[in-house]
Amino acid sequence: MAVAIRGARGGGSGGVGAGFRSFFSYRIFVSAMFSLLFIATATVLLTTRPSTTHQHSQRFRSGGNAYMHRTFVALNSDPLKTRLDLIYRQANDHITLVKAYAAYARKLKLDISRQLKMFDDLAKNFSDITSKPRYKSSLFETDGNLDEDVLRQFEKEVKDRVKFARLLIAESKENYDNQLKIQKLKDTIFAVRELLGKAKKNGAFASSIAAKSIPKSLHCLAMRLVEERISHPEKYKEDLPKSEFEDPDLYHYAIFSDNVIAVSVVVRSVVKNAEEPWKHVFHVVTDRMNLAAMKVWFKMRPVEGGAHVEVRALEDYKFMNSAYVPVLRQFESAKQRFYLEHKMENATKDGSNMKFRYLEHMSMLNHLRFYLPEMYPKLHKILFLDDDVVVQKDLTGLWKIDLSGKVNGAVETCFGSFHRFSQYLNFSHPLIRERLNPKACAWAYGMNIFDLDAWRRKKCTETYHNWQNLNVDRALWKSGTLPPGLITFYSLTKSLDKSWHVLGLGYNPSISMDVINNAAVIHYNGNMKPWLDIAMNQYKNLWTKYVDNDMEFLQTCNFGV
């Protein structure tokens, strides 16, 4: 047992010694290998450093896109060289940028020759800065440490050029950046639209004022006529009604206006172009204020050719009262609300939606056209004419047109999607939407041949009253006489040939003279009435040639026609 134990101890001691010897041998081997690897690496670095520095200097001088490559393990590296490397990168990036802008400028062919030259010069300056002898010798071709003062000067020059490049790019960026150009264009369009909208409102307002105001010459004419009546009452005694005024075999016209000169032109133009003027009867209705002037005019200047003229006042028709006429009732109520609740300056800000225009449209002289059967109970047909029309041909053919049982003969004004019912009536309202077709073609007031017998059979005046009562809050249409006319005579209007009635001479300067010369009636609808200074010159002579220039008061009042 004792032997076994000693043997065991001896064996254990020998094993431990062998382990230590093996461990130390391994450490020596690893240390030797690292030493050899370190020596080899140092040798390679020391032998290759001059060529790397030379290659880097060549790349700087060439002005290429490469920048200085440095090893991160250089034993004797200079911290200023890292700074130089960063400066070079910044310069090289801006060279690329300005060259890109210069190339894009050439592609766009913009009128920016000065900027293009500046971009090219700036790119060249960036490239040439490293070619300066001082920088070449002190920064790029030296094997030793860099001169910090020279590097600082080099950095200043590069930064100055970078600053200038950024400033140039910022100033001219909108010429190259499509998004900026688009946004700038949108802003310009928006600003121009704002100005255009304001100009249109101001123009509409000024035009409306000019159109609705009474010119000084026209006011003078009316005053002279009234003065004549007062000075010579014996000359202007009331005449007894003529039988011709109710003769259904003659050609009857209805003209409702307070404008003396305009009515006289309509009557003269009809008579001068009529083949049988003695068969034509004119029913002129005006307001009480202008009644005397209208009567004196036709007394002093009797109509040629034996035509007949009846002048009456609106107030002479006793049925025209608020108990019977809904629009008159609404008119009186609207006037009260307007003057009690609104100030004129607020009401006239929008030239296209002025309240005083609404009141003008509500004038009963305009709405009198819906009461023709009551006004002329013995007549079968009557031709309605606005006071801003001129007749160029004999109109008797209108009485011979078969209206096929319809009430109204008129010229349609629609083309494409324009002048359809949807433009005049509120089709969002169920009463309008359920009973009318929004695509139905509108027609023109101003020259309308009415079959009064058919009117009475169809009870059109009652239809008109019903719709006016429904529109007490103006929810169905805003104002005017055309919308209620379109509803009243819906499916009761016969379309006439367009040559009977040509419109637009009061707002459209592009109407063909061939179309005008071929028309039986031309209509100065719009604000540019022919008796106003704002009338269009190319159409004015078509109206002025029917003015009775021999009338002495026209000379006295300096009526500029």
Q: How far is CA 107 from CA 96, 104, 110, 243, in A?
A: 17, 5, 8, 87
- The strand pair at 308-313 and 280-286 is best described as parallel
Amino acid at 84: L
Q: What is the largest CA-CA distance in the chain?
A: 179
Question: How much is the pLDDT for 159?
Answer: 77
CA nearest to 52, candidates 74, 37, 83, 82: 74
Torsion of the alpha carbons at 486, 491, 496 and 500, rounded to the nearest 10: -20
Mapping DSSP onto H, E and C, the string for 259-295 reads CHHHHHHHHHHHHHHCCCHHHEEEEEEECHHHHHHHH
Question: How much is the pLDDT for 166?
Answer: 75
Quick: pLDDT tens for 152-203: 777 777 777 777 777 776 766 666 666 767 777 888 898 898 888 888 888 7
pLDDT beneath 50: ranges in the chain: 1-20, 23, 44-76, 111, 344-345, 347-361
Contact (CB, 8 A) for 181 and 114: no
CA distance 287 to 320: 13
Question: How much is the pLDDT for 479?
Answer: 82
Question: How much is the pLDDT for 359?
Answer: 47
CA distance 308 to 276: 12
CA distance 332 to 220: 30
Question: How much is the pLDDT for 28?
Answer: 66
pTM > 0.85: yes or no:
no
Contact (CB, 8 A) for 95 and 77: no
Q: Coil, strand or helix: which one is 410?
A: strand
Question: How much is the pLDDT for 463?
Answer: 97
| Residues facing residue 393 across a β-bridge | none
Q: Coil, strand or helix: which one is 219?
A: helix
Return the DSSP state at 519: -
Which class does domain 214-343+353-555 fall in? alpha beta
Question: How much is the pLDDT for 31?
Answer: 66
- Compute the C-alpha angle 96/52/38, nearest 5°: 130
CA distance 476 to 473: 8
